[in-house]
Amino acid sequence: MSTTVAIDTWIKRLADDERVRDAVRLEADETASRRADLVRRNGQRLIDELRAVVTRDVEAFRAEFPEDRSRDVVASASGPDGGFVIRKPEPAAASLTVTPNLDAATIACHFRFMLSDGLPPREDRFDVTFAGDPAVLRHNGTGQVYTTAEALSEFLLVPVLTGRCR
């Protein structure tokens, strides 16, 4: 003797909806995995390229003012993932710390401007993220996209080189 149980229509509909949700989740996971793999393969190269361009640009700026100690900007390596720090001396002292996090596909940027009136320093922090292709970087706060290391270098260096925040 066999027992047949009729499945209510709402259960069938719910099960179908869950299958669709599972497929969407699987696709999102696969997309995230592909993106993470792309960042792992190419992200470090992009960070190294950015550091090289920033260092070149800092040296070019310093060469424009060879005897001016107030524009004696220094670029130095920082951290194991290719981060770096840019420092400008007084009177308009400023610094930029760039800290990549390839696992999160982000680059943390921290500006610090020393004020001459004795007030605490002014700071600005934001992340730049790999936007799809790791050769494309996007400022999280403004949505501005940078397709070259040169473009991002200009955006990052102008405030430090001038000693004025945006």
Do the bridges between strand 122-131 and strand 83-88 make them parallel or antiparallel, or are there none, so unpaired?
unpaired
- Quote the CA–CA distance of 86 and 69 in Å, as a whole number: 15
To the nearest 10 degrees (0 to 180), the angle between helices 149-162 and 9-64 is 60
Residue 2 resides in a domain: no
Residue 74 resides in a domain: yes
- The range of the structural domain enclosing residue 54 comes to 9-162
Residue 55 resides in a domain: yes
**What is the number of structural domains in the chain?**
1
For each of the chain's 166 residues, which pLDDT tens digit applies?
A: 556 666 788 988 999 999 999 999 999 888 777 777 776 677 888 889 999 999 999 999 999 999 999 899 999 988 778 899 999 998 889 999 999 988 888 899 999 999 877 788 899 999 988 876 666 788 878 888 888 889 999 999 999 999 888 7
Contact 129, 39 (CB under 8 A): no
Residue 1 resides in a domain: no
- Quote the CA–CA distance of 103 and 3 in Å, as a whole number: 54
Residue 53 resides in a domain: yes
Residue 4 resides in a domain: no
Residue 146 resides in a domain: yes
The 3-state secondary structure of the chain, one letter per residue: CCCCCCCCHHHHHHHHHHHHHHHHHHHHHHHHHHHHHHHHHHHHHHHHHHHHHHHHHHHHHHHHCCCCHHHCCEEEEECCCCEEEEEECCCCCEEEEEEEECCCCEEEEEEEECCCCCCCCEEEEEEEEEECEEEEEEECCCCCEECCHHHHHHHHHHHHHHCCCC
